[in-house]
Chains A and B, each alone.
Chain A
Amino acid sequence: MKRLNKHSAIVDACYEIGATGWFLVVLLVAIPRSLRYLRETIRQIWFVGAKSLIIIMISGLFVGMVLSLQLYYTLSIFGGTSALGTVVALSLYRELGPVVTALLFAGRAGTSITAEIGLMRATDQLSAMELMAVDPIAFVATPRFLAGLISMPLLVAVFNMMGLFGGHLVGVNWLGIDNGTFWSNMTSNVNVWTDVINGEWKAFVFGAAISLIAVFQGYNAPPTSEGVANATTRTVVWASIVILALDFVMTAFLM
């Protein structure tokens, strides 16, 4: 068993961060080579993106609904419930949409990427590919990385739309805020560049971070059942921490 003193844990973490960064360079260099396997990339978008739609839509609906309820309570203290539409839309576009979608995506798609690649390694499929002169970085790793990159912004857009729908459902149909007030207040205060597009930038960066971590962990998992299990856990832990830390940094810069 590995030594568990503090020193080695820090050194391990630094090693892992450095190796992940290097893996990003390897993946980016492999993008031109992986264009030959475009069909594989499309298949991965189907697996990580399209198949995450259901969970994203349901979560978006509930997040929007609870946001509307909570903000209605807060705004009613100040007599400003007419601003509900604005506050729901801004919270979703700028913060909750990208972050909640990213956390769900790490749990839904990140883990499956890590487990799949880890098992490919454990069952020697990656070595077999190398024997057949198929580059596993270009055929296995990069398509999954690109799929995460492409899927996240699209999933965030769907999440935001469902959230808005849920917020509207609770705010207008249940709490009785005027429909016109809800929309007109929103449309006069939400800006397409600073709110919608900046949220999409966050989604893009989160998508890159999650799929990079997931692919890296799978690719470097020890070829045992315990190794794959640990790698899957590490994907979720690292991805969650990185998402929340990046969120703070990006919010500070994009504000």
Chain B
Amino acid sequence: MNPRRSYVAGTGLFILLGFVALAYLATQTTSLVNYQGGPNYQVTAEFLNVGGLKDRAPVKLAGVRVGTVSSIVLDQRSMEAKVSMTISKRYNEIPEDSFAKIMTSGLLGDQFVSISPGGSREVLKNNSQIINTQSALQLEDLIGKFLTSSGSSKSGG
């Protein structure tokens, strides 16, 4: 390789390295890791209170990630939060009477939707709704209840 060509090759190598680094950062260290491509279906659920649930939060069944939250909107008729979830087609045998809960990972961690399977033979299909839901556990409510209940027991005794 003559010296005139060698820096061209070196420059090419440098540009290649830069793009490889950028591609690595973009795909391996961001939320794109959790992107589930391929076929999927939509399921909705209505919650009284979603707490701190956000878009793109994971949907888990038995601790395994099966999908993501795609949108959270307020349903004005029922005054409940309507959560749409995108679930991978691979998991197409989730019973229709399954139970959706909003849980928190750890004490201060992010919130996610947890699905507990029911016993029905019917399975969730595209655009079907999960009827059985449980709202996010509000730490403030819990502490409030604890304080008032301990206060009342004292006054009673």
Interface of B is mostly: helix
Cβ < 8 Å to A, chain B residues 23-61: 24-34, 58
Cβ < 8 Å to A, chain B residues 1-25: 7-8, 10-11, 13-15, 17-19, 21-22, 24-25
Query: Contacting A158 at CB < 8 Å: which of B17, B26, B33?
Result: B17
**Is B110 located at the chain interface by the 8 A CB criterion?**
yes
List, sorted by A's number, 7 A–B pairs whose CB atoms are closer than 8 Å.
A42-B11, A93-B25, A153-B18, A154-B17, A187-B33, A190-B30, A192-B26
Q: Map CB proximity to A onto B101-116 as digits: 1 under 8 Å, 0 otherwise.
A: 0000010101000000
Q: Map CB proximity to B onto A60-81 as digits: 1 under 8 Å, 0 otherwise.
A: 0000000000000000000010
- How many residues of A sit at the interface, in one of the four size bands? 20 to 34
**Is A99 located at the chain interface by the 8 A CB criterion?**
no
Distance between A95 CB and nearest chain B CB, rounded to angstroms: 15
Residues of A within 8 A of B (CB): 39, 42-43, 45-46, 49-50, 53, 80, 82, 89, 93, 150-151, 153-155, 157-158, 160-161, 164, 183, 186-192, 195-197, 200
Given the contacts A43-B7, A161-B25, A49 and B31 also touching, CB distance less than 8 Å? no
Cβ–Cβ contact A45 & B14, under 8 A: yes
Given the contacts A80-B108, A188-B34, A190-B30, A46 and B7 also touching, CB distance less than 8 Å? yes
CA distance A9 to B23 in the complex (A): 46
CB neighbours (8 Å) of B33 from chain A are 187
CA distance A164 to B7 in the complex (A): 29
Query: Contacting B31 at CB < 8 Å: which of A46, A154, A187?
Result: A187
CA distance A155 to B18 in the complex (A): 6
Cβ–Cβ contact A161 & B24, under 8 A: yes
New A-B contacts (10) at CB < 8 Å, excluding given A45-B11, A45-B15, A153-B18: A42-B11, A50-B13, A50-B14, A53-B14, A158-B18, A160-B21, A161-B21, A187-B28, A187-B34, A195-B30
Nearest residue (CB) in A for B16 is A154
CA distance A82 to B27 in the complex (A): 21
Nearest residue (CB) in A for B33 is A187
Nearest residue (CB) in B for A79 is B108
Distance between A12 CB and nearest chain B CB, rounded to angstroms: 38
Distance between B68 CB and nearest chain A CB, rounded to angstroms: 11
